[in-house]
Amino acid sequence: MEERVRELEERLATMERRLGWWRGGGLAVLALAVAVGAWSCGQVRRPDIIRAKSFELLDERGDIRGRWVWTAETGASFALYSATEPAIMMHSKTSESGAFISISHPNGDDAVWLGSLSQGNASFSLSNSATNIGLRVDNTSIAEFAMYRDDAELVASVGTGESGTAVDLALKAQGTETRLHSSLKNQAVIFGKDTVGKTLFQLP
């Protein structure tokens, strides 16, 4: 009986030693893994340039409130969203024909447009659902300020003639046109025309 007790005590002592070795080995492996992980994190290189086709801003619920994206059709676009639809949309695009920046209404129509064409022309316009006001300057010294209705019908314009040699003021309403024309030779003409271009009056 005493022999069996001693044998059990020896086995228990052996098992305790083995458990101690496993415990010590496990702690060593864990410490090594932590050290390697910390070293690896320190070696990760942060990129100098982040490349992506689009960036999105999300609110606390995960809904999109802003998007910055580039497509071949619209160029670079930035949009801010309300809860259900775009509130502000801004586009910018550069091509062989020129470059422009525009801010659009939620329905996609331009509200503010600023552009420069490769031929040397520049345009600026403000629009709402009923009226378009624009300023245009081209490389032949022609400048024009105009107001249009939503159907692109000219309402009023002020501009210079070819090569900046004259000044024209035009008003249109109900199919008739009244125009003041003044050249650099101190000649001034006021005339009116109907819808088919027939002169109704002229002074002087």
pLDDT digits 0-9 by tens, 122-181:
777 777 766 677 777 766 656 666 666 655 566 666 666 555 555 666 666 655 666 555
**What is the pLDDT at residue 101?**
80
Which residues 6+ apart lie within 8 Å of 175 measured at CB?
194, 195
* 111 found inside a domain: yes
In the structure, what pLDDT confidence band is assigned to residue 113 with cuts at 50, 70 and 90?
A: confident
**What is the pLDDT at residue 22?**
46
* 169 found inside a domain: yes
Q: Mean pLDDT throughout 89-115? A: 74
Q: Are residues 204 and 135 in the same domain?
A: yes
**What is the pLDDT at residue 191?**
53
Q: Are residues 133 and 113 in the same domain?
A: no
Count of residues for the chain? 204
Tens-digit pLDDT profile for residues 34-64: 565 655 555 556 777 888 888 888 888 888 8
* 73 found inside a domain: yes
Q: For residues 180 and 116, what is the distance between their CA atoms, to the nearest angstrom?
A: 29
Which residues 6+ apart lie within 8 Å of 169 measured at CB?
157, 158, 179, 180
* 83 found inside a domain: yes
Mark which of 88, 118, 148 sits at the end of a domain: 118
Q: Tell me what percent of the residues of the chain surpass a pLDDT of 70.
A: 34
* 30 found inside a domain: no
Number of domains in the chain: 2
Q: Which helix H or strand E contains 35, and what residues bound it?
A: helix 2-43
Domain span including residue 188: 129-204
Q: For residues 132 and 154, what is the distance between their CA atoms, to the nearest angstrom?
A: 9
